[in-house]
Chains A and B, each alone.
Chain A
Amino acid sequence: MRYATLQLRDAAVAEDAVQEALLAALAGESNFAGRSNLRTWLTGILKHKIVDAIRRQSRERPSPELESDSSEFDALFDKRGHWEEAPDPWEQPEGALEQKQFLAALERCLEALPERTAQVFMMREHLGLDTSEICKELRITATHLWVILHRARMALRLCLESNWFRK
């Protein structure tokens, strides 16, 4: 449930997605036979329902935040486009992945992103959808998608840097 809410930003819509997934599972919409793990199977169905819900959301309320403009990161660079403050390496990032607190910090950083930006990031990096699929679902161009993903990655990096790696 939390998983769906994180991606849909709307508890009611997330609840619907989870219910639809369970109903679909009960109705045998996709076949469990031969799958090793019940959770994996259910999560797979849920992913489809989440994408359906995102598609509906994006039709119902087109999002102004998807305007392409990445000037928001201009402050990170000098006039010639060099880092004002170059990124340092993160210490033991692999270790962080094993920590619940780190994943909680990541969730908070995702929640701090503009809604649609976070959704696009999750569709790409979490659900692992192809860029062409995402463009089709959200009816945006590839160029536009790259701008959004660049923005999401830059913002998440900054957020994790100040909330975790350089705490």
Chain B
Amino acid sequence: MMRLSCKETTRLLSQGEDRKLSFGERAALRLHLAICDGCRNLKAQFKFLRLAAKKLSQEEGEDEPT
């Protein structure tokens, strides 16, 4: 199984938001995340960015009268 560096992990974490990762990629990712706090934090932050980007639209309209 491939061993990921943190740098490669950031790439796979990002791609995991945009495509289905292969079985090997998912396994390698899980293995890396199990031992790496930094990359686990990054994963949560990528997820958060998606929520925040969605929120941007909802918030937009709220100032204006309906």
B6 near A153: Cβ-Cβ < 8 Å = no
- Within the complex, the shortest CB–CB distance from B64 to chain A, in Å, comes to 8
B38 near A87: Cβ-Cβ < 8 Å = yes
Whether A154 contacts B55 in the complex (CB less than 8 A), given A80-B5, A86-B37, A131-B19, comes out as no
Which of B6, B17, B46 has the largest number of chain A CB atoms within 10 A? B6
B51 near A97: Cβ-Cβ < 8 Å = yes
Provide the bound-state CA to CA distance between A103 and B46, in Å: 16
Where chain A touches its partner, the secondary structure class is helix
Residue from B5, B10, B39, B53 in contact with A154 in the complex, judged by beta carbons closer than 8 Å: B10
Contacts of B22 in A (CB 8 A): none
Residue from B41, B46, B51 in contact with A153 in the complex, judged by beta carbons closer than 8 Å: B46
A89 near B41: Cβ-Cβ < 8 Å = yes
Provide the bound-state CA to CA distance between A146 and B50, in Å: 15
B52 near A43: Cβ-Cβ < 8 Å = no
Residue from B6, B50, B53, B60 in contact with A83 in the complex, judged by beta carbons closer than 8 Å: B6
- Asked if A139 lies at the interface with its beta carbon under 8 angstroms from chain B, I say no
Size range of the chain B interface in the assembly: 20 to 34
Whether A157 contacts B61 in the complex (CB less than 8 A), given A81-B5, A87-B41, comes out as no
B10 near A43: Cβ-Cβ < 8 Å = no
Map CB proximity to A onto B29-66 as digits: 1 under 8 Å, 0 otherwise.
Answer: 00000001111011011101111111111011100001
Whether A150 contacts B15 in the complex (CB less than 8 A), given A77-B6, A90-B48, comes out as yes
Contacts of B10 in A (CB 8 A): 73, 150, 154
| Stretch of A23-31, A57-65, A120-128 that contacts chain B | A120-128
Which of B14, B41, B55 has the largest number of chain A CB atoms within 10 A? B14
- Asked if A145 lies at the interface with its beta carbon under 8 angstroms from chain B, I say yes
B38 near A146: Cβ-Cβ < 8 Å = no
B19 near A149: Cβ-Cβ < 8 Å = no
Whether A39 contacts B7 in the complex (CB less than 8 A), given A86-B41, A149-B17, comes out as no
Whether A157 contacts B53 in the complex (CB less than 8 A), given A43-B61, A131-B19, comes out as no
* 8 A–B pairs (Cβ distance < 8 Å), ordered by A: A82-B7, A83-B38, A86-B41, A93-B48, A100-B59, A121-B53, A122-B53, A153-B46
